[in-house]
Amino acid sequence: MRVQLLATCLVDTLFPQVGLAAAAVLERVGCEVHVPERQTCCGQPAFNGGFADEARNIARYTVGLLSQDQAPVVVPSGSCTDMLVHHAPALLADDPVAGPQARAVAARTYEFSQFLVDVLKRTDCGACLHDSATFHPSCHGLRGLGIDHQPRALLQSVDGLELKPLAEAETCCGFGGLFAVKMSEISSTMLQRKLGHVEATGARLLIAGDVSCLAHMGGGLHRRGSRVEVRHVAEILAATEPSTKT
């Protein structure tokens, strides 16, 4: 099956290895991966900041780009998927060209783990990783799209991976985009509570489906001098050797 991979701006710039990993997993399960050129961002930072015009312009651009190909869109982020599935069609509802495009794109856009499990019906992707990990379900994927069992099922099928339960797993890590900067004191309090629970699991890896949360929690763990490292679900599924390098 041909798929369009929308890497997202954060994967593109901060975590390119996540894009490569997602592509590798998709190819391994038989997809033909197409990465649309000229992709930028879904517009969520503007949308969440209250900048409706800017958000609408970016959403229009991205929806137009993704409309050049009828293949399903796979996004390694619950948050950006939620933006494309729910918010872009609402923002563009009155646009005679982009409105129908946004609705059509929304109907064939999937978060990475959701695509593997719900569309391809795959939970075993042939991954192998002898390590211990805990999983944080990111808020927008969890509550916006109901994504939780898919990444868990995929991770449980990884040969050698020991998954440890995380207390208050469904509580936000405190990222929230500009919130982490503008309300950094509140955001930090949320982060420290989350990281306390993460470290209490004794796991070596913290896995999530959104690199925004991973950048936030990873930055917090690094500041604390923690031995816990962060990984995207795609990176875990891409692993085929018993151990991974950083």
Q: Which of 127, 171, 131 is nearest to 153 (CA)?
A: 127
Interface residue with other proteins, options 130, 143, 149, 197 (CB under 8 A):
143
CB atoms closer than 10 angstroms to residue 74: 27
CA-to-CA distance for 215 and 119, rounded, in angstroms? 28
Question: In whole angstroms, what separates CA 132 from the centre of its chain?
Answer: 21
Q: Which two tokens stand for residue 193?
A: 């509570």
Restricting to residues 175-204, which ones interact with other proteins according to CB under 8 A? 175-193
Binding residues for other proteins restricted to 92-121, rule: CB under 8 A: none
Q: How many residues bind other proteins (CB under 8 A)?
A: 72
Q: Are 136 and 152 in contact (CB under 8 A)?
A: no
Using the contact rule CB under 8 A, the part of the chain among 41-49, 95-103, 106-114, 118-126 near other proteins is 41-49
| 37 vs 94, beta carbon nearer other proteins | 37
Residues 117-136 that bind other proteins (CB under 8 A): none
- Sheet containing 73-75, strands listed edge to edge, beginning at the edge strand earlier in sequence: 32-34, 2-5, 73-75, 109-111
Chain positions 215 to 234 lying near other proteins, rule: CB under 8 A, are 215-216, 218-220, 222-223
Question: Which residues in 1-20 contact other proteins (CB under 8 A)?
Answer: 7, 9, 11-20
For other proteins, the binding residues in 47-66 under the rule CB under 8 A are 47-52, 54-55, 57-58, 60-61
The first and second tokens of residue 95, run together, are: 């646009």
Q: Are 196 and 170 in contact (CB under 8 A)?
A: no
What is the smallest separation between the CB atom of 61 and other proteins, expressed in angstroms? 4
Please list every residue from 159 through 178 that binds other proteins, using CB under 8 A.
170-172, 174-178
Measured from the CB atom, the residue of 94 and 121 that comes closer to other proteins is: 94
